Structure 1
Amino acid sequence: MITGVLFSLLQGILAYFAFRYGDKGGDGARYWIRPRLEKRFALIVGIIIFGVDVTLFALGDSNWFRAWRPSPPGRPIVEVMGEQFTWNFSVCRLGRCLWNTFVSYAAFALASAQLIFIFNLIWSLFRGPQAMKNPWKANTLEWTAPAPIPHWNWDGPLQTVYRWALRLRFDPSAG
């Protein structure tokens, strides 16, 4: 009894610290990479990507439960038998099931939109317009650091973030 409790307690502690501190390297990399990627995406290409993605994700979400419905009568069924599972796939011929054909073409369009996104990313890195220093108007200090970041993060005195007023301002008495 006691051995099981201690074992469970140890596993819980290890899981807590693994999830709590496991991604700190990724958090640090986000602030290290940001000054090097201060480029904006092309607006029109971003709108196209967003429009295609949102439309197709909504279509996929509305047809999600069709996978569990029984096939209509008269449609050929292919059964795959496994040790634990049985899957029924309805075989669709072109012209008999218009919606499945449409969704197949829509999935191809979604994949094409991802290729457009990759092109936009590479183009923006080399020829994109320069981004603002603090595009979200955030009230945290990491957006005030210059790029490239100097040794002590700021050249002059440290800026102060005022929590309640939600604004960033220079305080000469902060040292």
Structure 2
Amino acid sequence: MPVFVALLRAVNVGGTGKLPMSDLAALCERAGFEGVRTYIASGNVVFRSAGSEAGVKAALESALLAYAGKPVGVLVRDAAEMAGVAAGNPFPDADPSRTVSIFLDEPPPPGALAQVTGRDGEELRLGAREIYVHYGAGMGRSRLRIPAAEHGTARNMNTVARLALMAGEI
């Protein structure tokens, strides 16, 4: 049975979108997912499902809508894709806590990097369905705006590596 990693958008960030990870795990189990494991409180969950990526995404978004009363965005990768995101980090020598992968549903458009504004030393590279960003000076003061990433969700490379490892263990 395939293993998936689901990444929720805007969960437990800056005091918004409160969702205890125990509730997320229970939602996933009720949706029929197996071997459910969450990782840190920012909306990361790994599980097995016989469904497709699109089916898993739809089932989880529907369960989250019923739970939260509003839409919660979900990005999904299978175990091999998550391992590929970790291995494909174009900034392997950079601090992994200052390097993120912004996960997207679709491949970034060809002109995605040309539309970026507010750059001040950040480095960006396109992935398969991700945009990698290295925030050399940290994210706290960055004014970087990436229009192509508007509906994506970011995870630092420490989290990406841990999720890839968890997905490989299930």
TM-score, normalised relative to structure 2: 0.19
More helix by share: 1
Which structure dedicates a bigger proportion of its chain to strand? 2
Q: Which has the larger radius of gyration?
A: 1
